[in-house]
Amino acid sequence: MKKQLTALLLATTVTFSVGALTAEHALAASDATIVSGVNFRKAPNTGSATYGLLKTGEKVDILDKVNNYWYKVRDDQGRVGYISTSSKYVRTDGSGGSTSNSGSTSNTGGSSSSGSTSKPSTGNSSELVNKVIAAGKKYMGTPYEFGSNRSNTSTFDCSDFTRQAFKEGAGITLPSDSRGQAAYVKSLGGTTTNWRNLKPGDLMFFMDYKGTKASAYPSDKSNQRISHVGIYLGDGKILHTFSKASGGVRIDSIAGKHWEYRFVFGGSALK
């Protein structure tokens, strides 16, 4: 009889504890909206495997705030994983999850001080850049068409191509034309007028073609009209499309070519 009573008390305690835990997590969860493409990781570190990219506009439930850098979330497919806490990627629609571990040090190497701005984007940005470039290269040879239809990928003009690469690779929908994209990149800051200072994945903006000689272009291009855009690959290469005769989407060298002389400025669209 004594053993039966002990077993009954133990079962009651376990049932109560599980119920209390479930209620606690239900109360901790809050709604959030993805505002820019972000990696949905299986562990709270930038080296972890991912489920893929959560795209702009997707909804998630925040289950916990692991530390100043990571939220534990559940997506609309019921998968549980981790995303950056940065407001650059996610907007919380409620009070946020539990912060029981908020004092822990992030394994991204950042500061754990309260109120600091999260920036685990070194890993995330690098992966997004690779995804953008891979998305762009997938369309190598796709025919050029000025004013191409933005709703399909059968042809591209320069800005339609960059827009598609960033949409597929990073979940970011850029403005439809090169001048709009230039204004967007400028609004984020960190632009440069020296193409050699660019990083892979940065957008490059150019003025009108005036010939193959450097002397045909002004030294001060700050007031020049933007007429072309491409994606910098690193190593002096650009991924872009600019004419039917050139064969559509292609890779070109920059140094000593009219691309160098026409370059106005460039910068990241992922900030």
CATH number of the structural domain 123-267: 3.90.1720.10
Asked which of 18-32, 39-53, 129-143, 204-218 is least confident by mean pLDDT, the reply is 18-32
Of 98 and 1, the structure prediction assigns the larger pLDDT to: 1
Average pLDDT over residues 92-97: 47
Q: Are 7 and 15 in contact (CB under 8 A)?
A: no
Kindly tell me if the per-residue pLDDT of 5 is higher than 80. no
Query: pTM of the prediction?
Result: 0.56
Average pLDDT over residues 206-212: 96
pLDDT value at position 257?
96
Q: Which amino acid appears at position 38 of this protein? A: V
Average pLDDT over residues 252-265: 97
Alpha carbons 56 and 36: distance in angstroms, whole number: 5
Q: How far is residue 104 from each of residues 69, 108, 267, measured CA to CA in Å?
A: 10, 12, 34
Residues 6+ apart with CB under 8 A from 161: 136, 139, 142, 240, 241, 249
Which residues lie across from 203 on neighbouring strands? 231, 267
Minimal CA–CA distance to 146: which of 174, 177, 167, 172?
177
Helix axes 121-137, 158-170, angle to 10 degrees: 130
Q: What is the pLDDT of residues 115-174, one digit of tens each?
A: 222 233 333 578 899 999 999 999 999 999 999 999 899 999 999 999 999 999 999 999
The mean pLDDT value of the chain amounts to 80
pLDDT value at position 93?
61
Average pLDDT over residues 90-110: 41
Alpha carbons 138 and 119: distance in angstroms, whole number: 30
Confidence of residue 110 (pLDDT cuts 50, 70, 90): very low
Kindly tell me if the per-residue pLDDT of 187 is higher than 70. yes
DSSP 36: S
pLDDT value at position 192?
96
Owner of token pair 């050139």: 246
Residues 6+ apart with CB under 8 A from 156: 139, 142, 143, 144, 145, 148, 164, 241, 248, 249
Percent of the chain residues topping a pLDDT of 70: 77
pLDDT value at position 30?
64
Kindly tell me if the per-residue pLDDT of 99 is higher than 80. no
Q: Which CATH superfamily is domain 27-118 in?
A: SH3 Domains (2.30.30.40)
Where along the chain do its domains lie?
Answer: 27-118, 123-267
Alpha carbons 132 and 200: distance in angstroms, whole number: 10
Owner of token pair 């000025």: 146
Residues 6+ apart with CB under 8 A from 182: 203, 205, 226, 229, 264, 265
Kindly tell me if the per-residue pLDDT of 26 is higher than 80. no
Kindly tell me if the per-residue pLDDT of 109 is higher than 70. no
Of 65 and 217, the structure prediction assigns the larger pLDDT to: 217
